[in-house]
Amino acid sequence: MQHHPRPSLAHHCRLFLLILCLTGSPPILAQQAPASAAPASAASSSPKPPQDDAPESNRLPDIKVQDTVLRDGPARTLPSTAPVTRVDSRELEMRNTGTLNDALRDIPGVAVQGGPRDGATKLSIRGYSDSEDVRVKIDGAVKGFEKYRYGSGISLDPELIKTIEVERGTSLFAGSGALGGTISATTKSAADLLGRGERWGALAKFGYNDNNHERLRMLSLFGRPHERIDLLVSLTDRESSDLELADKTRLPVSATDAHSRLFKLGLMPTDDLTLDISRVEQHSGPALELYDVLGGSPTDSFGVVERTVDDVTHSLRFVYAPSSVPWLKLRGTLARGDMHLLDLRTMRDNPTRDSDDAYDWRYRIDTAELFGEARFKAGPMQAQVTAGLQRVRNDRDAQVHYSNPLYADPDMAEFPGYSGAQPPGLSQSTALILDHNLTWGPATVSVGSRWDKQLAEAKGGTAYVMNRAGVPSSIEFRQSSPSVALTLRALDDLSATIRRSRAFRPPLIDEYFTNNGYCNSDQALYELSGETGICGHLYQPEVAYQTEFTLAWVPKDKLWGGRLQTRATFFRITTSHVLESITAVNGRSEQPGVEYRHGSELEASYDHPFWFMNLAVSRVDARQENGGANAPAVFDLPGSLTSATLGTRWLDNKVETGLRWRRHGDRTTLSGAQVRPECGRLTGQVLPNQRRVATQYGPEVLDLFASWRIEERTVLRVSVDNATNESYCTLSGFLGGIGLPAAGRAAKMTLSVQM
């Protein structure tokens, strides 16, 4: 396989201009901008809170059947003033994908790291992939998980999703951190499935994947017993054997046994108030899995565990828009997510150290938000003011229990399960948010800021060790995150937006309180930590300055009988106080590292009654100064992405066929002494820590898909992923390494019947 250079910034500019030329010039007599880019909020300094934060049940009386030939706009939406992509359930169903992460592979700036095992993947946005860098929300509930050699822990079956919104870059409304971006998923409601005048319904879906013999079974019951009540219950089960690779071998311990449940209630107590209450359950196991799902094997030192995962999310969202005060709207979220992961492992590597171990992780994340929006209009001037309060609390308890007393620490007997490398603790962010938007003619100016009070606190045995050494076990600080933006419109359809923002990244609980971190490998820092090896009190939050320029052409009128959306974004991010660069100078800690990151994202979508097209092109580059020997964030960057989807519709839209082509560029990565020949090659460069630099080959993957509407509500879908059976390796997502071989060709089929 040959080396493929990354496209240059000039290449992306030329590609964007080419799309404009091919699709024609913007109409001279363009009308008002589309609703998705309403003037009052079009250039919000940080885009409006994701649409999933607001209940949808207020539209109950007007919902049409979504899965029919009557299409309510394109399946993918590109707002003109910000790098946001919205994907609805039609596109998710067309892909026949089994995970939320896989559903986002061809969105510019987004990459999937880890895999291909279930639970091994996590999302990377603009090269950021840690749980605090990419904020994930399900029905407004913040989700997150930290575990050594594991994925993101986010597990939501695509069959339950109504829409996904991917917002790249920092946002006033997303929360502290989230330098990469935010992913917001909204689950389905009965209103999304029922036709006008219908009260009750049921949907059954069956699927099969010939690669790993995965069997999908889904049953949904839904209804509107009253025009103000919306009910839905959905049950989904997925079971499979091990994945087959391109060379026809099986990837050991890669079987799936996952069960999803969705319970949702929508209420309209009055014409002004809507409520959505949801419960999302994700269960898997107990089943044999690798402790190291990112790159391990059954014979390595981590070995095989019996893993059980239980993830339950409760959410209550409301919207209050009083008809007596038409310029005011209130909305809020109260949510809680509980995740429990239990690993049971029997070690038999040494007869004198036999131990039946239990690794127990428990996460609880509470989300509380309240926002108020006020809109005003005076002549040619329009204004919108958004103010809100937001609180997110992440409480983590991690325990390791050994049956062999040789592993026990007698000094920590009063803290059963204590593990200094897996510290328990909590992090909490409380924020005040204010955003102003003023539109006058073709210009919109947006100014906003959020003010965060951040708290991190050690618990259990970790707090005991720190307090005993006189080291603070609680860390508190404040940060502000201002943002300003300017949007100019030409002929209503063409717009340009420039945005400048400041954000910060607090360290993870793991980074704050582990005794196996940076202070444990540096004698001078170790002394500053009170000889505990825990030095979270020495850390400074990383601070990032982001500049974005977005150019969009979104004609309101149809072009050649279809709807066109095009957008290009160029960004630059400078981050100071890089955590990996921490060092001790003259008895005090410093973080001199600075990271420079820049890239571009091009996106285009065209939806016609007879054919459709999506195009995504993105790249990101980074370098660090004074970033330490490894600078792992730079080696974790994905390669460039070029993705194109082209499809056609036949027989009055009863048949849909298409293909999806993805080309990933080569990437620079870290490696051991050898590299699989199908994965990449060594460059010959060796770092001071003896890690070797390698080039990981970027794959070229072709997917095929088709659907046939046999009857009005009976649909057969087939797809072939990796149709050419390309042999390549995934992105590791851990310390800049190369991942495992990816799955080979997979033919999938689903049949859905609605009654």
Q: Does residue 70 register a pLDDT over 60?
A: no
Of 37-41, 412-416, 531-535, 547-551, which has the strongest mean pLDDT? 547-551
Dihedral sign, Cα of residue 204, residue 208, residue 209, residue 212: positive
Q: From the CA atom positions of the chain, what is the Rg in Å?
A: 26
Residue of 309 and 149 predicted with greater confidence: 309
Predicted pLDDT of residue 54: 46
Of the pLDDT bands very low, low, confident and very high (cuts 50, 70, 90), residue 374 is very high
Residue of 361 and 734 predicted with greater confidence: 361
Q: Does residue 584 register a pLDDT over 70?
A: yes
d(CA 572, CA 596): 8
Q: Would you state the structure tokens that stand for residue 745, as one six-digit string?
A: 């060709």
**Which residues, including other chains, have CB under 8 Å from residue 521's CB and lie 6 or more apart?**
none
- DSSP symbol at 109: T
d(CA 78, CA 497): 14
Predicted pLDDT of residue 48: 47
SS3 223: strand
Please state the rounded mean pLDDT for residues 129-139. 87
Scanning 450-600, the segments in alpha helix (DSSP H) are: 460-468, 509-513, 523-528
Predicted pLDDT of residue 35: 37
Predicted pLDDT of residue 471: 87
Taking only the tens place, the pLDDT of each residue in 636-649 is 889 999 999 999 99
Across 121-130, 276-285, 687-696, least confident range: 687-696
d(CA 203, CA 714): 10
Of the pLDDT bands very low, low, confident and very high (cuts 50, 70, 90), residue 15 is very low
Vertex 302, ends 297 and 305: CA angle to 5°? Answer: 85
Distance, CA of 611 to chain centre: 29
Please state the rounded mean pLDDT for residues 205-210. 95
Which residues, listed in sequence order, are joined to residue 77 by a DSSP beta bridge?
86
Q: How many residues does the chain have?
A: 755
d(CA 620, CA 625): 17
* Bond into 424 cis (ω within 30): no
Taking only the tens place, the pLDDT of each residue in 169-194 is 999 998 778 899 999 999 999 998 99
d(CA 526, CA 539): 13
Residue of 75 and 378 predicted with greater confidence: 378
d(CA 267, CA 610): 38
Which residues, listed in sequence order, are joined to residue 754 by a DSSP beta bridge?
203
Q: To the nearest whole number, what is the mean pLDDT of the chain?
A: 84
Which residues, listed in sequence order, are joined to residue 337 by a DSSP beta bridge?
313, 365
Predicted pLDDT of residue 297: 63
Dihedral sign, Cα of residue 130, residue 132, residue 135, residue 140: positive
Which residues, listed in sequence order, are joined to residue 11 by a DSSP beta bridge?
none
Across 230-244, 314-328, 487-501, 688-702, least confident range: 688-702
| Buried b / exposed e along 311-326 (16+ C-beta atoms within 10 A) | bebbbbbbbbbeeeee
Vertex 123, ends 115 and 692: CA angle to 5°? Answer: 65
Q: What is the DSSP string of 38-75?
A: -GGGTT-SSPPPPGGGS-SGGGGGGPPPTTSSS--S-S
Task: Tell me the domains of the chain and their CATH numbers.
Answer: 9-754 (2.40.170.20)
Which residue, chain included where needed, has tokens 């919109």?
444
- Give the amino acid at 276: D
| Buried b / exposed e along 9-41 (16+ C-beta atoms within 10 A) | eeebeebbeebbeebeebeeebeebbebbbbbb
Predicted pLDDT of residue 368: 98
d(CA 100, CA 108): 16
Tell me the C-alpha to C-alpha distance, in Å, between residue 509 and each of 232, 390, 414, 535.
37, 20, 22, 12
Which residue, chain included where needed, has tokens 């990981």?
696
Q: Does residue 376 register a pLDDT over 70?
A: yes
Which residues, listed in sequence order, are joined to residue 459 by a DSSP beta bridge?
none
Q: Does residue 38 register a pLDDT over 50?
A: no
Distance, CA of 6 to chain centre: 24
Scanning 79-119, the segments in alpha helix (DSSP H) are: 89-95
d(CA 644, CA 256): 30
Of 17-21, 136-140, 333-337, 458-462, which has the strongest mean pLDDT? 333-337
Of the pLDDT bands very low, low, confident and very high (cuts 50, 70, 90), residue 52 is very low
d(CA 722, CA 437): 45
Taking only the tens place, the pLDDT of each residue in 465-484 is 999 888 889 999 999 999 99
Predicted pLDDT of residue 722: 95
- Give the amino acid at 714: T
Across 88-92, 139-143, 358-362, 610-614, least confident range: 88-92
Check if the beta carbon of residue 392 is closer than 8 Å to that of residue 358: no
SS3 12: helix
- Give the amino acid at 550: T
The secondary structure of 161-205, three-state, reads: EEEEEEEECCCCCCCCCCCCEEEEEEECCHHHCCCCCCCEEEEEE
Q: Does residue 583 register a pLDDT over 70?
A: yes
d(CA 644, CA 636): 24
Please state the rounded mean pLDDT for residues 17-44. 38
Q: Does residue 277 register a pLDDT over 90?
A: yes
pTM: predicted TM-score of the whole model, two decimal places: 0.86
Q: Torsion angle of alpha carbons 99, 100, 105, 111, nearest 10°? A: -110
Check if the beta carbon of residue 212 is closer than 8 Å to that of residue 245: no
Predicted pLDDT of residue 22: 41
Q: Does residue 290 register a pLDDT over 80?
A: no
Q: Torsion angle of alpha carbons 19, 25, 30, 33, nearest 10°? A: 20
User: What percent of the chain lies above the pLDDT cut of 90?
Assistant: 52
Which residue, chain included where needed, has tokens 């100019």?
488
- DSSP symbol at 522: -
CA atoms within 13 A on the CB side of 322: 7
Check if the beta carbon of residue 317 is closer than 8 Å to that of residue 333: yes
Taking only the tens place, the pLDDT of each residue in 156-167 is 778 888 999 999
